[in-house]
Structures are given as C-alpha cells and as structure tokens.
A and B are shown apart, each in its own frame.
Chain A
Amino acid sequence: GAGVSQSPSNKVTEKGKDVELRCDPISGHTALYWYRQSLGQGLEFLIYFQGNSAPDKSGLPSDRFSAERTGGSVSTLTIQRTQQEDSAVYLCASSIARPYEQYFGPGTRLTVT
C-alpha cells in the first residue's frame, strides 16, 4: 500500500516568509509525528498527534512553528517568518497507534535564503 507522503519535496524560501509543509500519513494510522533533521542538531522531535487528543507540542523550537491535523489524517506544519536556522529536512512519520512502529515519509528539504 501507499506509504507516508510529504509535499513539497523541496522548498526554497526567503527569510521572513511563511511556509507550509504537508504530510499524508498511511491510511488508518492514528498517530502522526513531525521530526526535523538538521546538520547541527541531528534528528529531533517536533510534535505528535494521536487521534482527537490534544497534540504534544513539546518539541516545537519556537512559537513561529505550528501544526494542525485535519480530520485525523493530513497534517500541515507551518513555519512563520522563516529564519536561516530553520533550514533542514522535515520528516513526518505515522503509526497505527502510540506504541507501534513509526513509518517515515521521504521528507521536505527546506532552504531559507
């Protein structure tokens, strides 16, 4: 079946602009995670959604970052007023439920110029 998909695959934006990154999880997966992969910080957790529960936003680095998940499926990660340090690969993962294996999407490479 289809895996986790993310769009766009690459995004170049100017400093100060807002960007939206999209994640389509595997159908039926109730848990969804966003991670960020950057040269300086490695792979780090950003936010977690589980069903209709309030998301765990404990990994978001600043209030410029936000995410939502509509209808328990598609998720959008929004970065406002982008900075150069936001340049990274943003990865989305989904799983059937909380303790089960996470399947990763191919990522969105964000470059802030």
Chain B
Amino acid sequence: GDSVTQMEGPVTLSEEAFLTINCTYTATGYPSLFWYVQYPGEGLQLLLKATKADDKGSNKGFEATYRKETTSFHLEKGSVQVSDSAVYFCALRHTGANSKLTFGKGITLSVRP
C-alpha cells in the first residue's frame, strides 16, 4: 500500500541554520503531497502542498518540490527561527475514493537561540 518515510529525528539546529527534512513516498497513481506542522500545544496545520510532479509548495519561508523521479518531497528552509520549533509531518493524499491522508512518523525540530 501507499506509505511515507521521513528521516529519523529529532533534529536540533541553531537559529539561522539551513534546514532539510527528507521525505520519500511509495504510492500508486499520482498523489498530492503535503507537509503539516504541529506547534507545541496546538493542532495539525497545513504548511505547504504540491499536487503534481515538479510543483513547488512554499509557505513561511519553507519550500518543498514534488520529485516524481525520486519519489521525494524534501522540506527546506534557508534560515530557521526559534519559532519554527515543532513537529513536522510529511503526508500524501490518496487518489482513491476517500482521499485519506497517509502520514510519515513525524520529526521533531528544535531551534536554539
């Protein structure tokens, strides 16, 4: 079945460091890809998305490009801030009837001042 694999965490960075969080997927058809973020004490929020190959999703300085040839959707940010400390989930949305989301296990990012 469809699956999402994220790099192991947690990740700790200093403020203004470059961030990359790897995500690869296995899916039939042509799924849409997402990054969700969960800030401490808050619910899941959509961070960015891409719906077809070579699309780039971007938001709040984060970017991810849908790479069909490598089945990847890596999340990047050029300069992280303390406020980016959160749990990040990569997900795909199935093309089937229910459009459920399949999530990776999530990775905790901590940014030090």
Which residues does A use to contact B, with CB under 8 Å?
4, 31, 33, 35, 42-45, 48, 50, 56, 58-59, 91, 93, 98-99, 101-107
User: Which of A43, A56, A105 is within 8 Å of B97, CB to CB?
Assistant: A56
Can you report 11 A-B residue pairs in the complex whose CB atoms are below 8 A from each other? A42-B103, A42-B105, A43-B101, A43-B103, A45-B102, A58-B98, A59-B100, A98-B98, A101-B46, A103-B46, A104-B43
Cβ of B7 to closest chain A Cβ, rounded Å: 14
User: Which of A33, A43, A58, A91 is within 8 Å of B43, CB to CB?
Assistant: A91
Question: Does B17 interact with chain A (Cβ within 8 Å)?
Answer: no
In B8-53, which residues have CB < 8 Å from any A CB? Answer: 36, 42-46, 49
User: Chain A interface secondary structure, helix, strand, loop or mixed?
Assistant: strand
A107-B43 contact, Cβ under 8 Å, with A42-B105, A42-B106, A43-B89: yes
Number of residues in B with C-beta < 8 Å to the partner? 20
